[in-house]
Structure 1
Amino acid sequence: MLRCGILLDDDYLIERAKKQISYVIRNADEDGYLGPEHLKDGGKNRDRWAHAVFLRSLMALYSATGEDRILEAVKNHYLSETSDHSEVREVCNLEEMCWVYSEAGDERLLEMALEAYEEFNRKYSSREKFPYTAKEGKCDVTKDALLSGEKPHIHGVTYNEMAKLPAILYMYTGESEFLEASLNAYEKLDRDHMLVPGVNSSNEYLAGKSPLASYETCDIADFIWSSGYLLMASGEAKFADKMERAAFNAAPGSVKNDFKSLQYFSCPNQVIATGNSDHNEYKKGSARMAYRPNHDTECCPGQVNRVMPNFIRRMWLSDGSGGLVAALYGPSRVNAEVGEKGKSVTIVENTDYPFSERIEFQIRTEDEANFTLWLRVPGWCDDAELFINGDKADRKTVPGSFLPIDRKFEHNDRVTLNLPMNPQLDHSPERGSSILMGPLVYSIPVQEKWERRDGDPRSSRNLPAWNVYPDGPWNYALAVDGENLEKEIEIEHRSKSTDPWTADSAPIALKVPVKRIDGWHLKRKETIKRGYSWKNQKEVEGNFVFTPPLPEKKELSKRMSDEKELITFLPYGCTHLRMTILPQE
């Protein structure tokens, strides 16, 4: 809420958040501790991860206001030494400890962060059980585990919160093994659990890469936040690519476009979203894939509001030497002091990205300013072009890198980056394929029938609960060969809209050849097993309807129509019911 209010200059949001923050600061204990007594006193239910999440709001407020009372309050909280912050997820507090160290220069905070992480690793490297880990039960997020090649099975949000921690320590210590641990952790996440809309699977626990693997909406915010740290620590452009994929696909694809309801679990393939359609093992047959203002736990409604403020927070970065880095793209304006002389400049970024290939930067400055402007060339773009004041620059552009423009900028200079977007296929491990173009993923938008679910205890007249049923065909296979996509797929540019993330107003669409598959229907069950796939399963009876898996390869040719159809695919984020991973002819 606070970061959103600051970005929008919205006094209502700012004051509403500051009211909560000021109350906590005013009621600090004599020793400096902030927060409720039950988290201070300890016991088996203590989880000071709550502090790590809450104190990010104080970090945001301090970055906007520079109020000394905020910095002092956070510093005194940690120096109260009411915990060593080494138990389970409370080690995430090292993020705030390092931040206070960077702002206040108190070496004790950095020492505390390092000691907490060392003690956490000592404890959980030897223990047989970690509370948020599935399968074998051992901790997947100690430094040694992150450095290993072992497949992680932990709770998805916990993995994202904890796998970034070594990268943060690297930023303040320069110890390369810390960075190596976080980089390897995210390589494993890509290898084992990354889904096409840009976020890891997590039906609570990491859940592989099948077309029916879902992600918790909470993971989107945490993945973007953590990837931002990896971007800053490593300087690797691929983390910015990842943040855009998640923000432009998974995020809007999990929320009703009026932002009044959301899914707890969302999936690349979901053709029904009702109170009995959750196809994931955990809470199977429940309403967790339905669109609700609030599900049976409050985490996702809170987290979904962090996604875009966290994304915007990392759009513009400093290179540490007086230069500016355009890390993430979108309409924006940044004011900064640049170059050796600290000249004041404003850069205005004009673009319809991710729906457009063209990004223009206008430099505004009273005097000439000599500095480096870094532009990201995404990994998916092979033919990026750079123009300066309308003239094409003779510069080699390398996919997945940052392009430096080191010059003496004058007022009204214009730098234009053109990023050609071409259709590409992404292949699923289970015989399916998806269509990508630029940072966007494209899906079949299943025609929808929305029904209000009255009587839901966590909804209201203004914030209703919904069941969404398919009201049109979705059972198609891609009829493309993958080698000539630019000829096979038609790109349709539509008029601009102030609300681009809807099926009716999407600024871009693809016309894709497909073939219908007979006999591929919703999966209906009267008895299911609910629990985790490896334990605590119990049989539940009822009327359950699920999105089906992809047809078996041996059945595909028998069921597939001989006739090709050309149908519309829309950006993933413009859909609620959709088919994204399709069998391919």
Structure 2
Amino acid sequence: MKYILSLAMVVMVTQVCAQRSTVPPRDLLRSNSGTAVIKGFIGDKISKCISNRVMVQEGEKILHPFAQRTEKDFNDWRCEYWGKWFTSAALAYLYQPGDVYKHTLDASVTSLLRTQGTDGYIGTYSKGAALQGWDVWGRKYVLLGLLSYYDLTKDNLVLRAAARHADNLIAELKDKQIKITDNGLDAIDGLSSNSILEPMVLLYQRTGNKKYLDFANEMIKAWGRPGKFTKNGLQLVEKGNKEVPPIDIAAPKAYEMMSCYEGLCEMYRATGDTSYLLAVLGFAHSVLKNERMIVGSASNQELWSDGVRQQTEIMQQPMETCVTITWMKLCYQLLRLTGDSKWADELELSLYNALAGAQTPDGSWWSYFSPLNGERVPSTAQHNDVGLSCCVANGPRGLLLTPSWAVMSSAGGLFINLYAPAEYSEKVNGTRVLLTVNSDYPVTEKIEITVSPDKTDSFTLALRIPSWSTNGRLSVNGEWQTFKPGTYCKINRKWKVNDKVVFYPDLRGRLIPAPSGAPQIAVMRGPVVLAIDNRMVTPADDAVWLLPKPWNFENTALAPAGYKGYVLAGHGLTPENKQAYIDLEPVTDKPDDVWMAFNASFLIRPSHFFNHAERKLVLCDYASAGNRFSADNLFRVWLPQPLFLSNAFVKDTWKITYPDKTIRPEAPSN
């Protein structure tokens, strides 16, 4: 396993801090516990998400099913909506604390606890249908919501309510002689119920009650034994350690499977058993190798799908937003546990592309699926009485996680992961440090960070150097620093007020060949995937090739029109030259709702040797591509070589995304 050597420090720290005792190993990086104000493109999306989606949610609609308790089978998952919404609302309050938001949280928890039965159950399923369908999945989200409220308030009444809710599940399973690993939906091998692992371990961490850890331990042991759904058990730990492709681990339901691995992260924190961390790392590396597509998400029809290889094709229901969110949450866990900047690179990729593209421009709604070719389609409401879908409820959880990883801390240091314009306040070694990020990254390359401790002090400031930034520069008060892409540049010095760090990441346009070997190319600029959009690229009879510069002319340089020469078409990528670049010229004449756009040179090659010419086409950022969420606004990421402009855009992809609909879905109006 390639990642074991990079884990040497993690294992050493674990052995020193835990010694396989009950003392949990510390995260190598900790979430920002100070204040954060993120501005620019991402800051705007966060603010709109809070004001137009999370904090305008009708709480009674979500809570009504808990009072009614009429759900009964696999068609019913209203039980998940409150926990998803509430964990988003808790993150919103952490980011923008205030009395109004706090009152919303208080009132919602109070109303939820009124529905708790004398037996401790909080849920939406009828008594006769307990443990059926998505019931345990919903109980998980109730626990996550209650624990997030406890973490904010330290309200022991709420912690006791959460414990009673968990106790009810443990008792009911015992009374009915059902193993948790044999519970849940047959079609997905019970993965939904097994994801209860995460909140059970979180409950143990907060109460110290060993019965919750015993429950978790027994569940993980049962994963390795024959069970109701699989003859050899789910094998999540064993197959994770072996980096088995996700599509070959149990049922290939991406969202629920990753949720189980989130639970293993908490088990590592609780026990210090490195086999759990190694299993999650092996699984995550396998996702990168086999499933994670170019924009930072995965899945087709909600399943693992060999997505790395398949992504250049038209997919039916690609990249479920719930999968995007859960992949980001798993990367966040690994960033905390390992301190490896790779996982911050992944978070940034997903944030600027798959996640940002799934949110409607006004922040009020989300897509269910996000294509790389075709049109964006807003999610339908899966339960009209609640007015939500799984992805609309879940999307904010990923976006509002951003302030937690943008700047992080460790013993004696601050780690900067996000370079969006922002202001952060955080303590290090007891000294309050204000970090001001002045940039419009990733539109332009200059990032200026002002470091202002409240007193001159020595500490480490670590800046994430993205793995793609192979030609960047970084200075401290004018002195150039050395660093390695794909790591943190750690600067330990005595910092004083108004010290300046300036980072110039490498924002050249990069050509990305199709992983399958298909003759298709995509373009990336920094963390941003680019696409063509029919608002800026008009269909024509031309066939065009995307080429790096300098163009490969026979015997001469690029000549004026009419030159009797030829250009050899090729992307410039060879075993010796694994990265090729293209010139990207910023475009200012673009639609107002497009964040960034660039002219790129394409080749028109009408015959074998003669009349080859250059043509400029506009590429825009993936999140803006198709962002009108209409049947008329089409886009594509992967560009066949050559690309026939007359059929560059595929129409009516909503019909394969929603085959059961006769009318194209539309986002609800505010």
TM superposition score category, shorter chain reference:
0.7 to 0.9
Distance in 1 (CA, whole Å) between partners of 2:330 and 2:495 is 33
Distance in 2 (CA, whole Å) between partners of 1:330 and 1:350 is 8
Tell me how far 1:205 sits from its aligned partner. 1.4
1:571 is the counterpart of 2:621: yes
Residue matched to 2:395 = 304
1:116 is the counterpart of 2:204: no
Identity across the alignment (%): 21
CA deviations on 1:43-84 (whole Å, 9 max, x unpaired) are 432532223334333344344434343334334433453347
**Structure with the largest fraction of helix:** 2
Q: SS of the residue aligned with 2:507? A: coil
1:158 is the counterpart of 2:256: yes
Distance in 1 (CA, whole Å) between partners of 2:127 and 2:491 is 50
Q: Which among 63, 70, 73 is matched to residue 161 of structure 2?
A: 73
Q: Which among 638, 659, 665 is matched to residue 581 of structure 1?
A: 638
Q: Which among 413, 422, 426 is matched to residue 499 of structure 2?
A: 413
Tell me how far 1:416 sits from its aligned partner. 2.9
Residue matched to 1:379 = 467
Distance in 1 (CA, whole Å) between partners of 2:152 and 2:494 is 30
Tell me how far 1:486 sits from its aligned partner. 8.1
1:128 is the counterpart of 2:178: no
Residue matched to 1:58 = 146
Residue matched to 1:207 = 305
Q: Structure 1 pair 358/426, CA: closer, same or farther in 2 (3 Å)?
A: same
Residue matched to 1:434 = 522
Q: SS of the residue aligned with 2:455? A: coil
Tell me how far 1:404 sits from its aligned partner. 1.8
Tell me how far 1:292 sits from its aligned partner. 4.9
Task: Please give the residue correspondences for 1:210-359 in structure 2 after superposition, counting only pairs within 5 Å.
Answer: 210=310, 211=312, 212-213=314-315, 214-270=318-374, 273=375, 290-292=377-379, 294=381, 298-319=389-410, 321-339=411-429, 342-359=430-447
Distance in 2 (CA, whole Å) between partners of 1:206 and 1:200 is 7
Task: Please give the residue correspondences for 1:525-536 in structure 2 after superposition, counting only pairs within 5 Å.
Answer: none
Tell me how far 1:101 sits from its aligned partner. 3.4
Contact in 1 for aligned 2:533/2:636 (Cα 8 Å): yes
Distance in 1 (CA, whole Å) between partners of 2:625 and 2:127 is 41
Distance in 2 (CA, whole Å) between partners of 1:139 and 1:362 is 53
Distance in 1 (CA, whole Å) between partners of 2:585 and 2:139 is 48
Tell me how far 1:361 sits from its aligned partner. 3.0
Tell me how far 1:477 sits from its aligned partner. 4.4
Counterpart residue type for residue 108 of structure 2: Q
Contact in 1 for aligned 2:465/2:487 (Cα 8 Å): yes
Counterpart residue type for residue 389 of structure 2: E
| RMSD (Å), alpha carbons | 3.4
Q: Which among 483, 505, 508 is matched to residue 422 of structure 1?
A: 508
Contact in 2 for aligned 1:198/1:249 (Cα 8 Å): yes
Tell me how far 1:378 sits from its aligned partner. 0.9
Counterpart residue type for residue 225 of structure 2: R
Tell me how far 1:169 sits from its aligned partner. 1.9
Distance in 1 (CA, whole Å) between partners of 2:226 and 2:407 is 38
Tell me how far 1:149 sits from its aligned partner. 4.5
1:19 is the counterpart of 2:86: no
Q: SS of the residue aligned with 1:573? A: coil
Distance in 2 (CA, whole Å) between partners of 1:227 and 1:40 is 39
Residue matched to 2:661 = none
Tell me how far 1:294 sits from its aligned partner. 3.4
Contact in 1 for aligned 2:522/2:637 (Cα 8 Å): yes
Q: Structure 1 pair 345/108, CA: closer, same or farther in 2 (3 Å)?
A: farther
Tell me how far 1:381 sits from its aligned partner. 0.9
Tell me how far 1:573 sits from its aligned partner. 0.6
CA deviations on 1:71-115 (whole Å, 9 max, x unpaired) are 343344334533475442222222223333334444443333222
Distance in 2 (CA, whole Å) between partners of 1:290 and 1:581 is 19
Tell me how far 1:10 sits from its aligned partner. 5.8
Contact in 1 for aligned 2:223/2:236 (Cα 8 Å): yes
Distance in 2 (CA, whole Å) between partners of 1:11 and 1:123 is 52
| Runs of 4+ displaced beyond 6 Å | 138-141, 484-487
Tell me how far 1:516 sits from its aligned partner. 7.0
Contact in 1 for aligned 2:123/2:135 (Cα 8 Å): no
1:480 is the counterpart of 2:578: no
Counterpart residue type for residue 377 of structure 2: A
Q: Which among 169, 172, 176 is matched to residue 274 of structure 2?
A: 176
Counterpart residue type for residue 479 of structure 2: K
Q: Which among 517, 534, 553 is matched to residue 446 of structure 1?
A: 534
Contact in 1 for aligned 2:245/2:290 (Cα 8 Å): yes
Q: Structure 1 pair 237/11, CA: closer, same or farther in 2 (3 Å)?
A: same
Counterpart residue type for residue 311 of structure 1: T
Q: SS of the residue aligned with 2:485? A: coil
Residue matched to 1:399 = 485
Q: Which among 97, 101, 106 is matched to residue 204 of structure 2?
A: 101
Q: Structure 1 pair 471/73, CA: closer, same or farther in 2 (3 Å)?
A: farther
Distance in 1 (CA, whole Å) between partners of 2:269 and 2:128 is 29
TM-score by length of 2: 0.65
Contact in 2 for aligned 1:199/1:220 (Cα 8 Å): yes
The gaps in structure 2 that reach 5 residues or longer are 1-53, 55-88, 174-178, 184-189, 549-570, 574-578, 627-633, 643-670
Give the number of equivalent residue pairs: 488
Contact in 2 for aligned 1:317/1:325 (Cα 8 Å): yes
Distance in 2 (CA, whole Å) between partners of 1:331 and 1:79 is 46
Counterpart residue type for residue 406 of structure 1: N
The gaps in structure 1 that reach 5 residues or longer are 130-137, 274-288, 449-469, 496-501, 519-556
Tell me how far 1:445 sits from its aligned partner. 1.3
Q: SS of the residue aligned with 2:257? A: helix
Distance in 2 (CA, whole Å) between partners of 1:248 and 1:338 is 29
Q: SS of the residue aligned with 2:325? A: helix
Q: Which has the higher contact order (CA 8 A, sep 6+)?
A: 2
Residue matched to 1:185 = 283
TM-score by length of 1: 0.74
Moved more, 420-429 or 32-41: 32-41
**Structure with the largest fraction of strand:** 1
